[in-house]
Amino acid sequence: GDSVTQMEGPVTLSEEACLTINCTYTATGYPSLFWYVQYPGEGLQLLLKATKADDKGSNKGFEATYRKETTSFHLEKGSVQVSDSAVYFCALSDRGATNKLIFGTGTLLAVQP
Amino acid sequence: GAVVSQHPSRVICKSGTSVKIECRSLDFQATTMFWYRQFPKQSLMLMATSNEGSKATYEQGVEKDKFLINHASLTLSTLTVTSAHPEDSSFYICSARDKGTSGSVYEQYFGPGTRLTVT
């Protein structure tokens, strides 16, 4: 079945460092891809999404490009802030009737001042 | 943006009792809601898909008689954990699906979660 694999954390960075969180997927069709963020004690929030190959999703300085050839959707940010500390989940959604989300295991990012 | 609320945010109950968790879409109508379970330091596990006015669809391995789901209106779905046991202690998260701006791509909006502790 469809699945999402993302790099294990925790990822610890200093403020203003560059961030990359790897995400690869396996899907039989052409899924939509998402990054969700979960701040401490809160629910998940959609960070960005891409619906087709070569689409680039971006929000709050984060970017991810839908790479069909490598089945990847890596999350990147050029300069992280302490406020970016959170758990980041990569997810895919099929285009079937249910549009269920399948999540990766999550990556904890800790940004130190 | 779309807001989903959950109530209660935290609940502690004794083993053998039942607990009801509510999930509400506050500013949009949700024909479909999802219930997830999240274990510490792990990802979200989809438990069931709840459609308004019909029976929920449960994922493999989820006991439908233990986790009762009712989606009686377009803005409310409830999850009842029946005869709760300590192993049911977890973080339960709901989401509601709204039609996105990209045609067939549906976005899910997540509630803040409910921490259930069974003693």
**Where does residue A106 fall: left (phi above 0), alpha (psi -120 to 50 degrees), or beta otherwise?**
left
Please enumerate residues of A whose Cβ is less than 8 A from a Cβ of B.
Answer: 32, 36, 42-46, 49, 51, 89, 93, 95, 98-106, 108
pLDDT attached to residue A65? 98
pLDDT digits 0-9 by tens, A41-94: 788 889 999 999 999 999 999 999 999 999 999 999 999 999 999 999 999 987
Output the six-digit token pair for B100: 């996105």
Return the H-helix or E-strand segment holding A50: strand A44-50
Q: Does B111 touch chain A (CB under 8 A)?
A: yes
User: Which parts of chain B register pLDDT below 70?
Assistant: 1, 99-106
The residues pairing with A63 across neighbouring beta strands, listed in sequence order, are A58, A76
Question: Sign (positive/negative) of CA torsion A94, A96, A99, A100?
Answer: negative
Which residues lie below 8 Å from residue B92, measured CB to CB, with a gap of 6+?
Answer: B6, B21, B35, B36, B37, B38, B79, B113, B114, B116
